[in-house]
Amino acid sequence: MRITRVLGAALLMLGLAVAPAAADSSPSPSASSDGEAPTSAGTSFRTATEFEQGQQATASGSTGDYLYWSFPADAGQRPTVEATVKLPETHAGQTWQVDVYDGLRRRQACQYGAQTRTAAADATTVELACVLRTVRAWSEPWANDPLPGTYYVRLTAVGLTTADLGQPVDATVEVNSKDIGGAAAVDGSLAKPLVPGIAMKSEASSEDDSSASAVLSSIEPEDGWSGGWWSDRWVWTAVGGVLAALAGVGGYSLTRGAGRPSRVPPGA
């Protein structure tokens, strides 16, 4: 009975700990329905159109244009960028490419996905995808790890023929993230996320000068930027400690010899 109670308590505590961890591992919620998805794209990093994760941004342009959007990504997220281009009715074979850059304008490699794809002459659409590496809360200065902040999406056609330049196209871009949780946790965090102009905003706030608090990018996650110190790794560490203690108690109960008969001296 005692062993049963010990195991029951261990399973109960394990279930209580796993519940919030499982909730954290669910995909990021979609953007609020109150915010309208953008219907245009920028032509450079500085004019990139902002949109939230979960929104479907659309834009009309011409082949040969560079289309730019930006979105926020926080520590522990693994963003997936998906782009669809509706091609002209008549065109030659076209190669389209989607690139993702972080707040320092460093090009981020895709773990997997069709980042570049060639559409045949009779194709009506082309679909692209880029699954980024998990965003880290902190990294070495020399590393190219993705960090919290603004991310830029650039969509364009490469290697176009002269006859295909300037033809009208429609593009759709969407970003969704999977929350990786404690598996990607690190011991450290950035002082500020990599958002263009955030240093200007911080300086202006300290001087109480609202007129100088312009920020080049105003988007951020719904719950704000995380500090980078909390993750479900703390939960699993605590659960491991509790299970180790319960295992010690159970082992002691099994081996202390309370139920064994007392030793009888020979010849008694």
Two tokens at 125?
């659409």
Q: How many CA atoms lie within 13 A of 51 on its CB side?
A: 28
Whether this model's pTM surpasses 0.75 = no
Tens-digit pLDDT profile for residues 200-258: 454 444 455 444 444 455 677 777 777 545 556 566 667 777 888 888 887 777 787 55
Q: Which residues lie closer than 8 Å to 73 by C-beta, 6 or more apart?
A: 53, 79, 132, 135, 146, 148, 149, 151, 175, 177
Domains of the chain and CATH, by start:
27-227 (2.60.120.380)
Alpha carbon distance, N-terminus to C-terminus of the chain: 35
Q: Which residue has the tokens 């990504």?
A: 73
As a whole number, mean pLDDT of residues 92-115 equals 94
CA distance 86 to 118: 13
Tens-digit pLDDT profile for residues 119-175: 999 999 999 999 999 998 888 888 889 999 999 999 999 988 888 899 999 999 999
What is the per-residue DSSP string for 140-194? -TT-----SEEEEEEEEEES--GGGTT-EEEEEEEEEEEE-GGGG--S---SS-B
